């Protein structure tokens, strides 16, 4: 395989555009992509024609506008290129209009009540900044999705708006420093975690199939205690899968770079090289889709759920984020002397301020029923948003806040104490894996995202709140006589005001929760509580001010998030009830019956044959069975009382009544599993699943 040759072979990328488009058209398209100029409508026709010819040469017969509705998945509707050509024959055609806009019925997509259902018209519109590609005989045209009245109905349009807002405000800041540039782009590198299990085991678990996670399952005796799986040698079947996946990703121009085993058994990670946010979002959506479809070809199933197995690490997605100018200046690069890099210090201050002011919506941007099992539950990071700066930048900020001289923390040189080994340069700081928002050298890493998340939403929030901080700073600084002293004054004032959000110690340790509470930081442990803050004025106004969401859009999205939470818990609870009543209780009952008949037979043979073992197990299991039945009945009754149409109250009830009910049902069933004969238990165990590939 010639990797440079296959890389991007199915993408209508810059190289192909240059090759196939008339020179003027190419220049106009690149101007839109590179400096955010509005697309010149007259070029749509020639771009469409060239795109179609190229796609047909790749075997495509169809095209689709590919978009990201509020379901969290992607959506596509395929139309063929054919058009009748008079004498019973057809030609292949894609017009400029078909490339630019598609009309579709939006009524079956979530809108959060922002639209009456009879107003069903929706439009998909081409996003020229993300390249089109060919997959399975179809030309995919990345698009946004809006309603007839112009409300956004997807995750991409607000992301693009937030990138525009950040671009505008960041350029103002740069201008204060005398730097002119065409565009400031945000960049994202999402590290994707996932589980791979065998299809055979998957098919035997209704919970995995219906909810993406196991609702029952006793702890396996060898979980991740030995920490042997992390970076462990790849199982040949997994290695073959990863190879296949890489090939598919590379063909679609996705810069898959790193792959390794993760901490938990059956858990893995893929990290791509970062790119512009909206391209990274599209790439990650494709990655998640391909992770699943490629697995099927190998008789495997890819689980993207945040917590498929209780007691085993869940999966997240680290969102590496930065901003850079078209001239290649990374605004988060501290350089060799951060203490004299005033621009860096100002940018850092803006981010610290933004994260502190809007910790609530950052937390909410990653809140889902599934992610609740990770954040603030039994694994890092916690549900409390805080910023980690590391030794070097931490010392710098401390010196500013405390008015002390900055003593540089130098990145040392490392040696392993063996003369033959080379001396290596060390980083200026160690890693802190427990921080939700960590500075890592020349970027921030937001680590609260769930593995299944569409990264568009958290990035929309990050861009918006940073743009807003930039805006306030620019308003204050523009036109000031002595910029240097005005900037320094501002930095000191704002760092002091937002110092509480900085936490450089173990975010997973027992000290942090009470300490965070003393500092007045939010700690929302479930989606219902986390999303509630989205309705607060301040959290709506920031989006309105930056032109990212209208008030109505902001409310609609918060409603959809809660609706989704309620629906998911409802499906899980119903699935749990069914599994308990139809599979687990009968299995326990059968095993108890078999033990009882063993006792009867023993007694019939000879009254002196001991049966203490049977008696003890029968008593324990029969009690658990009764308790399980009662706990399930309670869950069922509590669920029936909830009015699922009233999302706010329903989400609260789900979080505070149903989730604890479900935990109770599970605890009893898992205890029963531990003492029931394997041959009687109706589902594959954690051992079977986690070690089944």
Nearest distance, CB of residue 15 and Mg ion, angstroms: 30
Nearest-CA neighbor of 189 among 440, 506, 548? 440
Count how many residues are written for the chain: 693
State both tokens at 408: 């540089």
Nearest distance, CB of residue 440 and ligand ADP, angstroms: 6
Instruction: Output 298 or 443, the one with its CB closest to ligand ADP.
Output: 443
State both tokens at 130: 């993300």
Instruction: Output 114 or 322, the one with its CB closest to ligand ADP.
Output: 322
Question: Taking the chain, what is the end-to-end CA distance rounded to the nearest angstrom?
Answer: 27
State both tokens at 284: 């990650």
Nearest distance, CB of residue 323 and ligand ADP, angstroms: 8
Nearest distance, CB of residue 190 and ligand ADP, angstroms: 7
**SS3 labels along 130-145:** CCCEEECCEEEEEEEE
Residues 416-445 that bind ligand ADP (CB under 6 A): 442-443
Q: Cite the DSSP H helix spans in 406-504.
A: 456-477, 483-497
Nearest distance, CB of residue 676 and ligand ADP, angstroms: 41
Angle at 130 between CA 125 and CA 132, to 5 degrees: 80
Any contact of residue 276 with ligand ADP (CB under 6 A)?
A: no
Torsion (CA) 378, 379, 381, 383 in degrees, nearest 10: -20
Binder among 63, 216, 250, 321 for ligand ADP (CB under 6 A): 321
518 vs 512: CA distance, rounded Å = 10
Contact criterion met (CB below 8 Å) for 288 and 192: yes
In this structure, what DSSP letter does residue 260 have? Answer: E
Residues 656-675 that bind ligand ADP (CB under 6 A): none
Any contact of residue 273 with ligand ADP (CB under 6 A)?
A: yes
Instruction: Output 54 or 321, the one with its CB closest to ligand ADP.
Output: 321
Any contact of residue 443 with Mg ion (CB under 5 A)?
A: no
Instruction: Output 345 or 447, the one with its CB closest to Mg ion.
Output: 447
Q: What contacts 254, CB < 8 A, 6 or more positions away?
A: 272, 283, 286, 287
Instruction: Output 148 or 231, the one with its CB closest to ligand ADP.
Output: 231
Angle at 402 between CA 381 and CA 520, to 5 degrees: 40
Any contact of residue 274 with ligand ADP (CB under 6 A)?
A: yes
* 273 interface partner picked from Mg ion, ligand ADP, none, CB below 5 to 8 A per type: ligand ADP
* 229 interface partner picked from Mg ion, ligand ADP, none, CB below 5 to 8 A per type: none
Instruction: Output 52 or 318, the one with its CB closest to Mg ion.
Output: 318
* 272 interface partner picked from Mg ion, ligand ADP, none, CB below 5 to 8 A per type: ligand ADP
Peptide linkage before 381 cis (omega within 30 of 0): yes
Any contact of residue 318 with Mg ion (CB under 5 A)?
A: yes
Instruction: Output 457 or 539, the one with its CB closest to ligand ADP.
Output: 457
Instruction: Output 44 or 170, the one with its CB closest to ligand ADP.
Output: 170
Size of the site for Mg ion (CB under 5 A): 1
Contact criterion met (CB below 8 Å) for 173 and 473: yes
Contact stretch for ligand ADP (CB under 6 A) within 156-164, 267-275, 305-313, 617-625: 267-275
Contact criterion met (CB below 8 Å) for 325 and 186: no
* 108 interface partner picked from Mg ion, ligand ADP, none, CB below 5 to 8 A per type: none
Instruction: Output 373 or 447, the one with its CB closest to ligand ADP.
Output: 447
In this structure, what DSSP letter does residue 426 have? Answer: P
Nearest distance, CB of residue 29 and ligand ADP, angstroms: 25
What residue is closest to Mg ion based on CB?
A: 318
* 685 interface partner picked from Mg ion, ligand ADP, none, CB below 5 to 8 A per type: none
Residues pairing with 270 in the sheet: 192, 259
Nearest distance, CB of residue 437 and Mg ion, angstroms: 12
183 vs 164: CA distance, rounded Å = 9
Nearest distance, CB of residue 154 and ligand ADP, angstroms: 23
Instruction: Output 216 or 274, the one with its CB closest to ligand ADP.
Output: 274
Q: What contacts 427, CB < 8 A, 6 or more positions away?
A: 411, 441
Q: Cite the DSSP H helix spans in 222-333.
A: 236-251, 277-297
Contact stretch for ligand ADP (CB under 6 A) within 74-82, 208-216, 318-326, 587-595: 318-326
Residues 158-197 that bind ligand ADP (CB under 6 A): 187-189, 191
What residue is closest to ligand ADP based on CB?
A: 189
Nearest distance, CB of residue 445 and Mg ion, angstroms: 5
188's enclosing H/E stretch is strand 184-198
Nearest distance, CB of residue 189 and Mg ion, angstroms: 9
User: DSSP 3-state assignment of 118?
Assistant: coil
Angle at 112 between CA 107 and CA 114, to 5 degrees: 75
Contact criterion met (CB below 8 Å) for 432 and 438: yes
49 vs 47: CA distance, rounded Å = 6
650's enclosing H/E stretch is helix 647-653
* 151 interface partner picked from ligand ADP, Mg ion, none, CB below 5 to 8 A per type: none
Nearest distance, CB of residue 290 and ligand ADP, angstroms: 17
Mask: binding to ligand ADP, 207-246, rule CB under 6 A, as x and -? ----------------------------------------
146's enclosing H/E stretch is strand 138-147
Angle at 130 between CA 128 and CA 136, to 5 degrees: 110
* 543 interface partner picked from ligand ADP, Mg ion, none, CB below 5 to 8 A per type: none
Nearest distance, CB of residue 161 and ligand ADP, angstroms: 20
Nearest distance, CB of residue 463 and ligand ADP, angstroms: 13
Angle at 359 between CA 356 and CA 362, to 5 degrees: 135
Q: In this structure, what are the phi and psi dihedrals at residue 491, rounded to the nearest 5 degrees?
A: -60, -50
Nearest distance, CB of residue 316 and ligand ADP, angstroms: 11
152 vs 115: CA distance, rounded Å = 11
Any contact of residue 271 with ligand ADP (CB under 6 A)?
A: yes
Any contact of residue 64 with ligand ADP (CB under 6 A)?
A: no
Residues near Mg ion, by CB under 5 A: 318
Residues near ligand ADP, by CB under 6 A: 187-189, 191, 258, 271-274, 318, 320-322, 330, 442-443
């Amino acid at each position: 395989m010639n990797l440079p040759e296959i890389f991007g072979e199915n993408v209508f990328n810059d190289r192909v555009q240059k090759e196939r488009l008339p020179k003027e058209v190419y220049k106009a398209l690149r101007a839109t992509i590179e400096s955010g100029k509005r697309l010149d409508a007259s070029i749509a026709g020639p771009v469409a024609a060239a795109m179609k010819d190229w796609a047909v040469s790749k075997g495509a017969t169809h095209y689709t506008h590919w978009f990201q509705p509020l379901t969290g998945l992607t959506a596509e509707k395929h139309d063929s290129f054919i058009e009748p050509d008079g004498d019973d024959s057809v030609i292949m055609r894609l017009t400029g209009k078909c490339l630019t806009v598609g009309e579709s019925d939006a009524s079956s997509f979530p809108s959060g009540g922002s639209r009456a259902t009879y107003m069903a018209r929706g439009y998909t519109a081409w996003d020229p900044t993300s390249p089109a590609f060919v997959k399975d005989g179809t030309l995919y045209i990345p698009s946004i999705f809006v309603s007839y009245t112009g409300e956004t109905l997807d995750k991409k349009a607000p992301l693009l708006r937030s990138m525009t807002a950040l671009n505008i405000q960041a350029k103002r800041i740069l201008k204060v420093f005398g730097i002119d540039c065409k565009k400031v782009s945000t960049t994202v590198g999402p590290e994707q975690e996932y589980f791979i299990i065998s299809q055979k085991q998957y098919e035997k678990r209704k919970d995995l199939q219906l909810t993406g996670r196991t609702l029952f399952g006793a702890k396996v005796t060898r979980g991740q205690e030995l920490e042997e799986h992390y970076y462990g040698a790849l199982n040949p079947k997994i290695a073959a899968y990863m190879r296949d996946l890489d090939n598919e990703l590379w063909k679609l121009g996705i810069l898959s770079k790193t792959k390794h085993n993760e901490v938990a058994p059956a858990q893995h990670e893929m990290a791509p090289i970062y790119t512009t946010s909206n391209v990274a979002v599209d790439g990650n959506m494709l990655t998640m889709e391909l992770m699943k479809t490629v697995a099927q070809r190998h008789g495997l199933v890819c689980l993207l759920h945040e917590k498929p197995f209780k007691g085993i690490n869940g999966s997240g997605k680290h969102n590496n984020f930065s901003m850079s100018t078209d001239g290649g200046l990374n605004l988060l690069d501290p350089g060799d002397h951060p203490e004299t890099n005033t621009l860096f210090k100002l940018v850092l201050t803006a981010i610290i301020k933004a994260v502190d002011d809007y910790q609530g919506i950052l937390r909410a941007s990653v809140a889902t029923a599934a992610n609740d099992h990770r954040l603030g539950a039994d694994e890092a990071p916690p549900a409390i948003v805080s910023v980690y700066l590391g030794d070097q930048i931490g010392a710098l900020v401390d010196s500013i806040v405390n008015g002390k001289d900055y003593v540089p923390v130098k990145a040392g040189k490392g040696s392993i104490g063996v003369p033959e080994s080379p001396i290596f340069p060390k980083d200026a700081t160690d890693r802190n894996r427990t921080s939700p928002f960590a500075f890592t050298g020349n970027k921030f890493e937001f680590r609260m995202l769930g593995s299944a998340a569409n990264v568009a939403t958290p990035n929309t929030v990050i861009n918006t709140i940073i743009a807003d901080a930039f805006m306030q700073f620019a308003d204050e600084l523009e036109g000031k006589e002595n910029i240097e002293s005005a900037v320094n004054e501002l930095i000191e004032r704002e760092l002091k005001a937002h110092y509480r959000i900085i936490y450089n110690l173990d975010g997973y340790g027992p000290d942090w929760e009470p300490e965070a509470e003393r500092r007045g930081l939010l700690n929302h442990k479930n989606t219902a509580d986390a999303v509630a803050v989205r309705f607060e004025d301040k959290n709506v106004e920031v989006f309105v001010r930056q032109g990212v969401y209208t008030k109505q859009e902001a409310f609609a999205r918060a409603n959809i998030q809660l609706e989704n939470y309620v629906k998911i818990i409802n499906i899980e609870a119903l699935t749990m009830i069914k599994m308990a009543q139809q599979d687990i209780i009968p299995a326990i009952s059968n095993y108890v019956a078999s033990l009882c008949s063993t006792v009867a037979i023993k007694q019939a043979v000879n009254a002196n044959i001991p049966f203490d073992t049977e008696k003890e197990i029968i008593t324990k299991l029969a009690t658990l069975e009764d308790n399980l039945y009662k706990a399930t009945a309670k869950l069922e009754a509590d669920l029936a009382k909830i009015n699922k149409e009233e999302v706010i109250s329903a989400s609260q009830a789900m979080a505070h009544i149903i989730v604890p009910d479900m935990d109770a049902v599970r605890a009893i069933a898992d205890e029963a599993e531990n003492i029931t004969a394997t041959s009687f238990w109706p589902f594959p165990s954690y051992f079977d699943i986690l070690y089944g590939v």
